[in-house]
Amino acid sequence: MELPPDLPASPGGDDSWDGEERAEARKETLHLEIDGWEGPLDLLLDLARRQKVDLRRISILELVDAYLTYVEEAEALRLELAADYLVMAAWLAYLKSALLLPKEEQPDPSPEELAMRLQLRLQRLGAMREAAARLMARDRLGRDVFLRGAPEGLRVERKARWQCSWYDLVRSYGDVKVRSQPVVHMVRERMVMTLDSAIARVSSMLGITLEWMELRDFLPPAHDAWTNEQLRRSALASSFVAALELARTGKVELVQEYTFGPLRLKALRS
């Protein structure tokens, strides 16, 4: 049978800034107030201290008996014990019976070792509890010793060391001069085919044929002024808008077989 020194943590064993008086009250009502303990290890430590010997020399058997008695008393008084106290009681009962067995019949791990580990845990907790008390009793800042009440304070003021290069300076002046020069906007005249003339041209050409015609066929033949590339682009754009406009008003049918494919039109006869 394996039952390790199971010390499940008990919840809510803590509180923050008050506990002193409670510890006092607990000592007086030891046999009644089981809730006051911070878990079974805390109770065990207190019981161990009652043996009034060094924690290294406590009698584990005596300690186990004290704990079991305590738990029994609590049960007799119908106090509700947290489960971890009962788990600890069960384990201690097991430890006691194992310790009482003849050496050769003792289980593994040996009860002596389990007892030693329990003792070490009590010592560790006891040591920390004493250390805490000694720490709290030291001369504490703000209670026993004090810092200067009204320090002037140290301040570091950051001061800029400004940087600017000769080039930045001269370049900036150039920028200012450029910006302040009077600005004259010239709008260059461009040769374009207006939308009106494109509509007139497309509708008149559609009147001649009943066949499908590609949009590009409506452009004026490339000679004289019409060789100008910009003018040709303008004419194409205007003819396209003209074609859309004529389609919208139901005068032509417009077909494009695929994206970016040739755009073809045909007059609609009503």
Partner 1 sequence: MSTDIKPAIDDLVRAVEATLFAAEQPLTAEQISTHLGKADVRAALEELQGHYEGRGVRLVERGKRWHFETAPDLAHLLRREKEEARRLSRAATEVLAIVAYHEPVSRAEIEAIRGVQTAKGTLDVLMEAGWVRVVGRREVPGRPVIYATTSEFLAHFGLSSLKELPGVDELRAAGLLDPVDDEMIGEALRPQPVETSDEPPDTEYDE
Contacts (CB under 8 A) with partner 1, residues 233-262: 233-234, 237-238, 241, 245, 249
Phi and psi at 21, nearest 5°, equal -60, -35
Question: Which one, 97 or 204, has the nearer CB to partner 1?
Answer: 204
Q: Is residue 149 within the footprint of partner 1 (CB under 8 A)?
A: yes
| Segment interacting with partner 1, rule: CB under 8 A, options 61-69, 186-194, 214-222, 258-266 | 186-194
CA distance 118 to 58: 11
* Residue 123 binds partner 1 (CB under 8 A): yes
User: Which segment (61-69, 93-101, 128-136, 210-218) binds partner 1 by CB under 8 A?
Assistant: 128-136
DSSP, residue by residue, 173-238: HHHHHHHHSPP-----------HHHHHHHHHHHHTT--S-EEGGGGSPPSSGGGG-HHHHHHHHHH
- x/- contact string, 68-97, with partner 1 (CB under 8 A)? ------------x-xxx--x----------
Does residue number 208 form part of the binding site for partner 1 (CB under 8 A)?
no
Nearer to partner 1, 135 or 257 (CB): 135
Q: Could you give the string, one character per residue 154-183, with x where binding to partner 1 holds by CB under 8 A and - elsewhere?
A: xxxxxxxxxxx-x-xxxxxxxxxxxxxx--
Q: Distance (Å, rounded) from C-alpha 134 to C-alpha 45?
A: 18
Contact 84, 10 (CB under 8 A): yes
Cα(3)–Cα(198) distance, integer angstroms:
102
Kindly tell me which of 13 and 220 has the beta carbon lying closer to partner 1.
13
Please, which residue, 258 or 265, has the CB nearer to partner 1? 265
Stretch that binds partner 1, among 66-74, 100-108, 116-124, 256-264 (CB under 8 A): 116-124
Q: Does 225 bind partner 1 (CB under 8 A)?
A: no
Rounded to 5 degrees, what angle do the CA atoms 230, 236, 240 make? 145
* Structure tokens, 78: 């119908």
* Distance in Å, CB of 155 to partner 1, minimum: 5
* Cis, bond preceding 107 (omega within 30 deg of 0): no
CB 258 to partner 1: min, Å: 26
76 or 141: CB nearest partner 1 = 141
CB contact set of 40 (below 8 Å; sequence gap of 6+)? 7, 10, 67, 84, 85, 87, 88
Residue identified by tokens 């032509």 is 252
Min dist CB 204 to partner 1, Å, is 9
Rounded least distance, CB 192 to partner 1, Å? 6
